[in-house]
Each structure stands twice: as structure tokens, then as C-alpha cells.
């Protein structure tokens, strides 16, 4: 039977390699891969092992992702980072040729390449406590190959889980901000949740101020947070500023060499401490108009294109929410202004109506109601209301209705007047109609209008004289 791991691997180690392959094939994440690898290495009587992975960027470095020591105190530990150049064996090791200490080395070590598609993306570092024989070298070379496949497989599963988590997180954020009615609260909530739920190092949101022709920072959450400092304001023609450049470009883009940009803009040390490796810049676009820009910092060396598209869709949703809320605020403002104007107009109309039908006290118990202009149903109701209120208030006995200023008196107008006089009589007041012109009198006769017992006089003077005479007991 052919040995799948090569004829140089001792037969007694084949079963371990097969068991390792089967275990790693089912490993769901990097931690599970580590547990499988440690079990195999420990059984091979090795003192310690580390897996270093290459992290690319402006300054590539190696990071410990798996660490184990037989004494329980591995050094360095998981998460430790060193410059790539500090482990010279990394650049010397190849997929076919591991780097193994010579027989006279006081502290023998072995370095085995982790390879994907011909590229070395990491090394398995062993301290066996002895000089490895050729068979063991081939064994650990095979172990490194299996570990590389396991890590890449775990990477794929982790990436898928992260994408699903990111999709769910962005959906939840969009749902939350969709319920908020204040633009400032929407922006602050979105930035906070992008850091808390999506895991960005920071989130920066700025909006365009068209009147001042500037881009104003609204909030920064996380690294370089805006709390406690003056917020940034960038002129819209300052294209040397990355966020302004993104705004003017009007399309999403990312900066992979963020450390270089951070150094140039004066915040390189902060980015280095936070482990920021890339940043994305997304214009806030709604209805064909760019409202502002959102940027974020990430631990990832590069954001995948599909994730960038997903973030772009979320940013558009954020922009649409802001535009909708701003539109609702402007609509409410206009409605309030219209309501205020209508209220003012209503008060003005009420004043005009009061002035158009003034009820004037001319003597104790005597009122004069001069009517000017046309009388319709609405005005007749207002005349009657004003008349009755004045009678009650002044305790009037006589009301003189002067229609000298009424151009036309037809059946409708006459009926309005008759109803008003009847209502006044129910309050104990007698109405005297004055100012009937000859032409109006002729028209009323031709129409057959009957004023019944309504007292009439030729003019206002005669009407007042009648009322005063009646009050004093004269004719």
C-alpha cells in the first residue's frame, strides 16, 4: 500500500498523521485546529511548538496563532507579534525544504512551511529537545501541511460565520435607526453600533454643510473618538483629506496601507497600537445626492469585495433614513408654519367680522347694529351671534338695525333679518329697522316680503329718537 505522506515517513507515524488529518478535517475553527495539532505534537515527544502566521500590510509581521509548551508556559503566547525579519527561518523555509538545526546546535529547532497554492503563509516552529532524524523531519513536514489545510479550512468557516454575523448586524442596525426620528441620534447610534456589533476599530460620520461649503464631523466612536475634543471641519475642496476625497469621488473605496496614511496624517502611533490594518470610506448617497461620508477602521488587512458591497448597501440605507427623517422634519416645519399662518388668518378674519358687524351701545338699553355689504348665510349667522351676545351683555331693550350700507335686499337677506329680529325678541329686545332705500322698499313689495310687526324708520336718527322716546314713555 502506498504511503500517502511519502515513503520517508516512518510507518509507525502514519497512523498519527491519518488521525490528525481526520481530526483537523472536522475542526470548526482555529482553536480546534490547535487542539488537534497539540495532541499530535505532544505524542511525538516535542517540548514546545508555535505556529506563526504572516500578516500582510505596510509593515508585514508574524503573529502567534497556536502556542504550546510541555511545561504549560509557552513563550511567546498566542497573539504575540514580531517583525517578519526577526524570524530569519521564515524567509529561508520552502514547501519542500524545512529549516532544521544542525546536529551540534545547543537548542535544536525545526521550521516547517505552512503552504497554500505554493505560497508560504506561516511556519510551524518546533523545539523537539533533540536533533530530528530524517524520518521525523518528513513527519513534521506532513504535520505542517495538514495544519495549513486545517487553518485555511477554519479560515473559510470563520469568514463565512463572520459574513453572516456582519449581515445580521448591519440588518439589525438598519432596523434600529429606522425607528429613530432625530438625525443626530441616528448618526450617533449607527456609529456606536458599527463598533459594538460589527467590530470595527472606529466609525467616523461627517455630513455636508452646503451653506458653509464644508464637510462637518458629526461623530467618531472608538479610536480617535470625538468626545471631549473639537470636531473636524474640512473644506470641500481639501481633496488631500481622505474623507473629502472619498466624498468627491462618490463611490466606496478602501485604504489597505492605512498605516502609511495614518503616519502621514499624524495618527500613526494610535493606529499601530490599535492594530488597524485597513480603512473603508463610504459616501452617504440618497436620491442621487451625496449627504456625507462614513469611514471605519478594521483589523483586517483587506475587506473583501462582497463585504465592501454589503457595507455600501448599508451606507445607502443609512443615507436614505437620514434623508427621510430630514424630509419629515421639513414637512412638519412647513405644516406648523401653515397652521400658524392659518391661525393668524383666522384671528384676522374674526377681527374683520367683528368690525364688519359692530354692535354699538348709544344709550342705556339702546344698541345700534350698522350693516355694510352683502349678507350671506355665513355672515347672517355671525350677525345674529354678535347681536344676541350684545343684547345679553348690555341688557338692551332696543336694537336699531341700520341697512343703509346693504346694496341689495332680496328675499334671502330679508329672511336673515327677520330671523335675527325674532331671536332678539326672545331676549326681550325690540328691533327697529332703519335705512331702507326707496328702491329696496319697492323690491321688497314686489317680492311680497312681509316684515310683520317689525318697526321701521327712515334713518338712524329717527330710529334712535323712537327708541329713546319709547324708553322715556313717549310715542
Judge whether 11-162 and 180-329 match in fold: yes
User: What is the tens place of the pLDDT at every residue in 95-131?
Assistant: 888 999 887 888 899 999 999 888 899 999 999 988 8
What whole-number distance in Å separates Cα of residue 177 and Cα of residue 313? 15
Model pLDDT, residue 475:
42
What whole-number distance in Å separates Cα of residue 61 and Cα of residue 122? 11
User: What is the tens place of the pLDDT at every residue in 355-414?
Assistant: 566 888 889 999 999 888 887 777 788 888 888 999 999 999 999 999 888 887 788 888
Higher pLDDT, 374 or 323: 323
**Half-sphere exposure at residue 23, Cβ-oriented, CA atoms within 13 angstroms:** 19
**Among the four given CATH numbers 3.90.79.10, 3.40.1000.10, 3.30.750.24, 3.30.70.2500, the one describing domain 357-472:** 3.30.750.24
Model pLDDT, residue 251:
83
Model pLDDT, residue 7:
43
Model pLDDT, residue 209:
93
What whole-number distance in Å separates Cα of residue 48 and Cα of residue 129? 9
The pLDDT of residue 444 is above 70: yes
Model pLDDT, residue 158:
75
CATH C-level class of 11-162: alpha beta
Residue 8 pLDDT grade (very low, low, confident, very high; cuts 50, 70, 90): very low
Domain range summary for the chain, segments of one domain joined by +: 11-162, 180-329, 357-472
Architecture of domain 180-329: 2-Layer Sandwich (3.30)
154-158, 380-384, 420-424: least confidently modelled range: 154-158
Average pLDDT taken over every residue of the chain? 85
User: What is the tens place of the pLDDT at every residue in 31-63?
Assistant: 888 888 888 888 888 999 999 999 875 567 899
Residue 350 pLDDT grade (very low, low, confident, very high; cuts 50, 70, 90): low
Residue 187 pLDDT grade (very low, low, confident, very high; cuts 50, 70, 90): very high
What whole-number distance in Å separates Cα of residue 147 and Cα of residue 134? 20
Do the bridges between strand 366-372 and strand 398-405 make them parallel or antiparallel, or are there none, so unpaired? Answer: parallel
Amino acid at each position: 500500500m502506498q504511503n500517502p505522506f511519502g515513503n520517508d515517513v516512518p510507518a509507525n507515524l502514519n497512523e498519527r498523521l491519518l488521525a490528525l488529518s481526520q481530526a483537523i478535517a472536522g475542526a470548526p475553527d482555529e482553536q480546534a485546529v490547535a487542539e488537534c495539532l497539540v495532541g499530535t505534537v505532544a505524542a511525538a515527544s516535542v517540548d514546545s511548538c508555535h505556529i506563526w502566521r504572516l500578516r500582510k500590510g505596510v509593515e508585514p509581521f508574524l503573529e502567534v496563532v497556536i502556542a504550546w509548551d510541555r511545561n504549560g508556559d509557552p513563550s511567546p503566547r498566542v497573539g504575540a507579534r514580531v517583525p517578519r525579519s526577526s524570524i530569519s527561518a521564515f524567509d529561508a523555509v520552502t514547501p519542500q525544504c524545512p529549516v532544521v538545526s544542525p546536529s551540534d546546535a545547543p537548542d535544536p529547532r525545526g521550521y516547517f512551511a505552512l503552504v497554500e497554492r505554493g505560497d508560504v503563509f506561516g511556519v510551524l516552529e518546533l523545539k523537539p529537545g533533540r536533533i530530528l532524524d530524517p524520518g521525523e523531519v518528513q513527519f513534521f513536514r506532513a504535520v505542517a501541511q495538514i495544519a495549513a489545510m486545517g487553518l485555511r479550512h477554519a479560515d473559510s468557516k470563520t469568514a463565512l460565520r463572520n459574513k453572516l454575523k456582519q449581515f445580521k448586524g448591519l440588518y439589525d442596525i438598519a432596523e434600529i435607526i429606522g425607528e429613530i426620528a432625530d438625525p443626530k441620534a441616528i448618526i450617533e447610534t449607527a456609529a456606536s453600533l458599527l463598533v459594538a456589533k460589527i467590530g470595527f476599530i472606529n466609525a467616523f460620520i461627517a455630513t455636508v454643510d452646503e451653506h458653509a461649503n464644508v464637510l462637518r464631523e458629526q461623530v467618531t466612536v472608538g479610536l480617535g473618538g470625538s468626545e471631549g475634543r473639537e470636531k473636524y471641519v474640512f473644506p470641500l475642496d481639501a481633496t488631500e483629506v481622505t474623507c473629502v476625497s472619498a466624498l468627491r469621488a462618490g463611490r466606496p473605496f478602501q485604504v489597505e496601507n492605512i498605516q502609511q496614511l495614518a503616519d502621514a496624517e499624524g495618527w500613526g502611533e494610535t493606529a499601530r497600537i490599535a492594530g488597524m490594518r485597513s480603512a473603508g470610506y463610504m459616501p452617504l448617497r440618497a436620491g442621487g445626492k451625496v449627504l456625507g461620508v462614513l469611514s471605519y477602521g478594521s483589523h483586517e488587512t483587506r475587506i473583501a469585495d462582497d463585504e465592501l458591497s454589503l457595507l455600501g448597501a448599508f451606507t445607502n440605507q443609512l443615507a436614505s433614513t437620514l434623508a427621510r427623517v430630514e424630509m419629515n422634519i421639513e414637512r412638519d416645519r412647513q405644516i406648523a408654519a401653515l397652521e400658524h399662518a392659518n391661525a393668524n388668518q383666522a384671528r384676522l378674519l374674526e377681527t374683520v367680522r367683528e368690525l364688519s358687524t359692530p354692535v354699538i351701545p348709544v344709550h342705556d338699553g339702546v344698541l345700534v347694529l350698522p350693516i355694510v355689504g352683502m349678507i350671506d348665510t355665513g355672515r347672517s349667522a355671525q350677525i345674529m351671534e354678535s347681536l344676541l351676545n350684545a343684547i345679553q351683555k348690555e341688557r338692551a331693550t332696543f336694537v336699531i338695525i341700520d341697512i343703509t350700507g346693504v346694496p341689495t335686499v332680496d328675499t334671502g337677506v330679508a329672511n336673515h333679518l327677520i330671523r335675527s329680529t325674532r331671536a332678539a325678541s326672545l331676549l326681550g329686545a325690540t328691533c327697529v329697522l332703519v335705512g331702507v332705500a326707496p328702491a329696496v322698499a319697492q323690491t321688497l313689495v314686489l317680492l311680497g316680503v312681509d316684515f310683520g310687526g317689525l318697526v321701521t324708520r327712515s334713518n338712524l336718527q329717527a330710529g334712535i329718537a323712537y327708541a329713546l322716546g319709547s324708553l322715556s314713555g313717549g310715542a
